[in-house]
Amino acid sequence: MRTSAVRIALVVASGAIALGSTFAGAQRSGGNPLRGTSWQLVKFQGPDERIFTPDDKSKYTIRFGSDGRVVARVDCNRASSTWRVNASGELQFGSWSRTSAKCGTGSLHDQIVNEGAAVRNFEIKDRRLFLSGMKAGGYYELEPLAAGKR
């Protein structure tokens, strides 16, 4: 009986430590889990529920700077803007500036540029970033970008 009480205490303590470190990480990032993170595209589900996956995830990246700037690579083009999360947790971007090269066949560039500016919501679940909120529907699923590729 005593052994199970010790195990329960250890589980509770471990949970408290994990929760405390998560909270401390949120505090360091100003309570914003996107600040200072970098992501690469895993898939995009369009409003018609079709799923698009990139031929090379590293060609579709986004970095949320700690300074309120966001930088993105969308296949053969680069883009930048400002970003913030408002009090209700909605993700807001400023005006985007971007290059406008014509990307090759199979590129998701046009799809992302047309839909991506309408993103309003984010959720981090199971170490994945989900961006959604476009009027027509659909979502982006991204994974953390490896440290060496930032």
Provide the token pair at 78: 């680069």
Q: How far apart are CA 26 and CA 11, in angstroms?
A: 23
Cβ atoms of residues 36 and 25 within 8 Å? no
Percent of the chain with pLDDT over 70: 77
| Shared-domain flag, residues 50 and 89 | yes
Q: How confident is the model at residue 149 (pLDDT cuts 50, 70, 90)?
A: low
Number of domains in the chain: 2
Prediction pTM value: 0.75
Location of structure tokens 């994974």? 143
Q: Which of helix, strand or coil describes residue 56?
A: coil
15 and 78 in a single domain? The answer is: no
pLDDT at 113: 83
**Token output for 77:** 């083009």
pLDDT at 13: 34
Residues 142 and 116 in one domain: yes
Report, as an integer, the average pLDDT of 29-38: 83
Range of the structural domain that residue 14 is part of: 1-31
Give yes or no: residues 17 and 43 share one domain: no
What CATH code is carried by the domain that includes residue 120? 2.40.128.270
Q: Are residues 94 and 128 in the same domain?
A: yes
Rounded distance between C-alpha atoms, residue 27 and residue 25, angstroms? 5
Q: Is-contact 35 29, C-beta < 8 A?
A: yes
Q: Do residue 7 and residue 79 come from a single domain?
A: no
Residues 69, 130 within the same domain: yes
Contact assessment for residue 57 and residue 95, using Cβ atoms and an 8 Å cutoff: no
The pLDDT tens digits for 93-140 are 999 999 999 999 989 998 888 777 789 999 999 999 999 988 888 899
